[in-house]
A and B are shown apart, each in its own frame.
Chain A
Amino acid sequence: QSALTQPASVSGSPGQSITISCTGTSSDVGSYNLVSWYQQHPGKAPKLMIYEGSKRPSGVSNRFSGSKSGNTASLTISGLQAEDEADYYCCSYAGSIVVFGGGTKLTVL
């Protein structure tokens, strides 16, 4: 099972919106609406930001939203803030296993 494909890096200015894509296959992202997204700051454990495609856990800002089209899931962050600068990972249920994306480094300019 190959890793999901994410862009290595994205950037945006404070206040702008950015979108991170996560491309899988018909065996994972395309078959299940069970994509989750994680934020990881340097030296810290990952933090759940979106689950089951578009649901936000309690305490996560509504500036974070998730969606899916076909084999590609997306994470959108609106109103970028300095503290959003981090690595972001997507993850998809794939039947008997779970597969992660390679990660995207978000830089807030």
Chain B
Amino acid sequence: EVQLVQSGAEVKKPGESLKISCKGSGYSFSDHWIAWVRQMPGKGLEWVGIIYPGDFDTRYSPSFQGQVTISGDRSISTAYLQWSSLKASDTAMYYCARHLNRDYFDYWGQGTLVTVSS
């Protein structure tokens, strides 16, 4: 069974750094793109970016380029999303999802709620 399990909720202060994770199982993690998707409170879905664990090829939405970093560790089938300096506007639910053919998302993680508040 394909599963994506994300790390738990985080509460941070503005300016702090953060790295959240998404661990895949039940399939060959290296062979499929993983996407990160943001959902701000009460709002819609936004594509943040993707990583191909096979060679760590990474692409970002223009809206998120330079704001976040996507990385991965094939040895533990895990993808990461990180911030070097959080802002209050980063407060959102972040989902990881398996991104097939780079056009649709067939399996989703349960989401990681990131709250940034002073």
Contact = CB atoms under 8 A, between A and B. Distances in A.
Contacts of B104: 34, 36, 48, 51-52, 91
Interface in B78-105: 95, 97, 99-105
Given A45-B95, A45-B110, A46-B108, A100 B44 contact: yes
A107 B106 CA distance: 25
Interface in B29-50: 35, 37, 44-47
Contact of B44 (A3, A32, A57): A3
A5 to B, nearest CB: 12
A47 to B, nearest CB: 7
A99 B28 CA distance: 26
A75 B59 CA distance: 28
Interface in A86-109: 89, 91, 93, 96-103
A64 interface: no
A24 to B, nearest CB: 13
B45 A96 contact: no
Nearest to B99: A98
A69 interface: no
Interface residues of B, number: 23
A18 B108 CA distance: 26
A97 B61 contact: yes
A52 B99 CA distance: 13
Contact of B62 (A1, A38, A98): A1
Interface string A46-89: 11100110000100000000000000000000000000000001
16 contacts: A3-B44, A32-B103, A36-B104, A36-B105, A38-B105, A40-B45, A45-B108, A46-B97, A46-B105, A57-B106, A89-B44, A91-B104, A97-B59, A97-B62, A98-B35, A98-B47
Interface of B: 35, 37, 44-47, 59, 61-62, 95, 97, 99-106, 108-111
Interface of A: 1, 3, 32, 34, 36, 38, 40, 45-48, 51-52, 57, 89, 91, 93, 96-103
